[in-house]
C-alpha cells in the first residue's frame, strides 16, 4: 500500500501486527533513518536489541547470499516477541530477493523493514510494496516539519509548557534544521530545563540553539516563489554568513523560474508541463512547483525571468556593485511581484 503522510505516521506509531514489511525511501538519509528507527522501536518494543529480536542486513550482501533474507525472516529467536529484519540501502538489484521473501512470508515471521534512496514509481521495489495489500510503502521527502510533528517532538522531549514566543522561535528553527538536529536541540532544551518548572522561554531557546543554522540555496528560491517577503532577510543573512555567492544564488533562481515558465506555458496547462519536466520531480516539490506555476502564470513568470536576467548581468558587470544588496532587492521585488 502507498501511504500518505498521515497514514504513514499512524503506521509507524502503531505498526499493525502480522504484516510482511515496510519500505521507507527518500533522498535524505537522516530523515529515512529517523522514520526507520521509530518504526522498529514501536514494532519490537524497548528490549528488542538485548533480546536479539532485530536482525540487520546490508542490501549489497544479499546479492551474494540470496537465502540470507529469507533465513533471517524465518529464524526463531530465544526470546518471545515481535521480530524485525532491517535491510538497509536497498536498490532494484535486490528487488528479486526482497520480493521472494515477501511471497514466502507467513504469519509469525519477522517484519521486513527495507530502506532505500528515493524510488521512482516504476521501481520494482516500490511497485512491489505499493501493490501488496499487507505491506506499506512510505516516501520520506525533504520538507519542513509540520506543526503536528513539532508538537509531537516537544511532547516526547517532555517540553509541555512552552511560551508562545518560544514556540514561534522553535517553529523557525524546525524550518531551518534537519529533523535529527531539531530533535537534538529539544533533547538539549529538556536537559537545560531539568528541575525548572517555568515555561520554556525565548531566552531558553536562544541559549541552546545552534550559533548559526545552515541555509540551502533552494530554500531562498522557494521563499521568493511563494511570495514570503518577510522570510527573505533572515534567510539571506544566513546564506551570506555561510559564504554564499550572489551570482550562484541568482543562477539558481533563474533556473527555477525558467522551469516554472516552461510548465506554465505548456499547451496542456501547468499540470501537464510539470509532468513533462526532465529530470522529473516528485512528491511535495512537484506539488509546490505546480502551485507556483499556477499562481504566477505565464506573463508574470516572463517578467520574473527578465528581472533575474538583468540582475545577473548587473552582478557580473562590475566588481564595485553591492552584490548582496542588489540580489536581495531583486528577490524582494520578485516576491512582491508575485503577490499582485
Give tens-digit pLDDT for 221-252: 989 999 988 888 888 888 888 888 889 899 99
Domain check: are 101 and 58 in the same one?
A: yes
Residues 9 and 117 grouped into a single domain: yes
Q: Say how many C-beta atoms besides its own lie within 10 A of residue 22's C-beta.
A: 27
Count other Cβ atoms within 10 Å, centred on residue 112: 26
* Same-domain status, 32 and 75: yes
Closest CA to 257 of 213, 212, 226: 226
- As for how many domains the chain has, the answer is 3
Q: Does the structure show a pLDDT above 60 at 26?
A: yes
Match 534537519 to its residue by C-alpha cell.
178
Domain carrying residue 261 = 217-339
What is the CATH classification number for the domain harbouring 273? 1.20.272.10
Is 8 within 8 Å of 137 (Cβ atoms)?
A: no
Residues 260 and 191 in one domain: no
> Minimal CA–CA distance to 311: which of 327, 297, 322, 299?
327
17 & 36 share domain: yes
Instruction: Let me know: does 19 contact 11? Beta carbons within 8 Å.
Output: no
User: Are 77 and 181 contained in the same domain?
Assistant: no
187 and 306 belong to one structural domain: no
Check whether residue 202 and residue 222 sit in a common domain.
Answer: no
H helices of 45-178, in order, are 59-62, 68-74, 95-103, 124-131, 147-156, 164-176
Q: CATH number for the domain including 57?
A: 3.40.50.300
Interacting residues of 167 by C-beta distance below 8 A, sequence separation 6+: none
pLDDT at residue 83 tops 60: yes
Angle at the Cα of 15 from the Cα atoms of 14 and 18, rounded to 5 degrees: 140
Whether residue 54 sits in one domain with residue 177 = no
Same-domain status, 14 and 135: yes
Residues 134 and 186 in one domain: no
Confidence of residue 207 (pLDDT cuts 50, 70, 90): confident
Q: Given pLDDT bands bounded at 50, 70 and 90, which one contains residue 64? A: confident
Is the pLDDT at 287 greater than 70, yes or no?
A: yes
Residue 19 shares a structural domain with residue 103? yes
Q: Give the three cell numbers for residue 216.
A: 540551502
Amino acid at each position: 500500500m502507498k501511504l500518505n503522510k498521515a497514514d504513514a505516521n499512524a503506521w509507524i506509531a502503531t505498526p499493525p501486527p502480522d504484516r510482511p514489511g515496510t519500505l521507507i525511501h527518500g533522498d535524505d538519509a537522516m530523515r529515512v533513518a529517523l522514520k526507520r528507527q521509530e518504526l522498529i522501536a514501536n514494532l519490537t518494543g524497548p528490549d528488542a536489541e538485548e533480546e536479539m529480536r532485530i536482525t540487520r542486513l546490508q542490501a549489497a550482501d544479499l546479492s551474494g547470499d540470496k537465502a540470507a533474507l529469507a533465513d533471517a525472516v524465518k529464524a526463531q529467536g530465544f526470546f518471545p516477541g515481535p521480530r524485525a529484519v532491517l535491510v538497509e540501502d536497498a536498490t532494484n538489484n535486490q528487488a528479486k530477493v526482497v520480493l521472494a521473501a515477501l511471497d514466502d512470508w507467513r504469519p509469525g515471521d519477522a517484519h521486513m523493514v527495507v530502506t532505500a534512496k528515493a524510488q521512482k514509481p516504476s521501481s520494482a521495489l516500490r511497485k512491489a510494496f505499493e501493490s501488496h495489500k499487507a505491506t506499506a510503502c512510505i516516501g520520506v521527502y525533504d520538507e519542513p516539519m509540520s506543526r503536528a510533528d513539532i508538537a509531537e517532538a516537544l511532547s516526547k522531549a517532555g517540553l509541555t509548557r512552552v511560551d508562545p514566543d518560544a514556540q514561534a522561535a522553535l517553529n523557525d528553527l524546525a524550518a531551518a534544521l534537519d529533523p535529527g538536529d531539531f530533535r537534538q536541540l529539544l533533547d538539549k532544551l529538556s536537559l537545560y530545563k531539568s528541575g525548572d518548572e517555568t515555561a520554556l522561554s525565548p531566552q531558553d531557546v536562544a541559549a541552546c540553539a545552534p550559533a548559526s543554522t545552515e541555509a540551502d540555496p533552494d530554500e531562498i528560491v522557494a521563499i521568493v516563489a511563494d511570495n514570503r517577503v518577510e522570510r527573505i532577510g533572515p534567510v539571506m543573512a544566513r546564506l551570506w554568513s555561510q559564504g554564499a555567492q550572489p551570482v550562484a544564488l541568482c543562477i539558481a533562481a533563474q533556473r527555477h523560474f525558467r522551469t516554472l515558465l516552461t510548465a506554465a506555458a505548456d499547451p496542456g496547462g501547468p499540470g501537464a508541463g510539470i509532468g513533462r519536466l526532465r529530470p522529473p520531480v516528485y512528491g511535495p516539490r512537484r506539488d509546490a512547483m505546480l502551485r507556483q506555476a499556477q499562481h504566477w502564470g505565464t506573463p508574470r513568470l516572463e517578467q520574473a525571468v527578465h528581472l533575474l536576467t538583468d540582475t545577473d548581468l548587473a552582478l557580473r558587470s562590475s566588481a564595485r556593485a553591492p552584490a548582496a544588496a542588489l540580489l536581495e532587492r531583486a528577490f524582494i521585488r520578485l516576491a512582491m511581484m508575485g503577490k499582485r
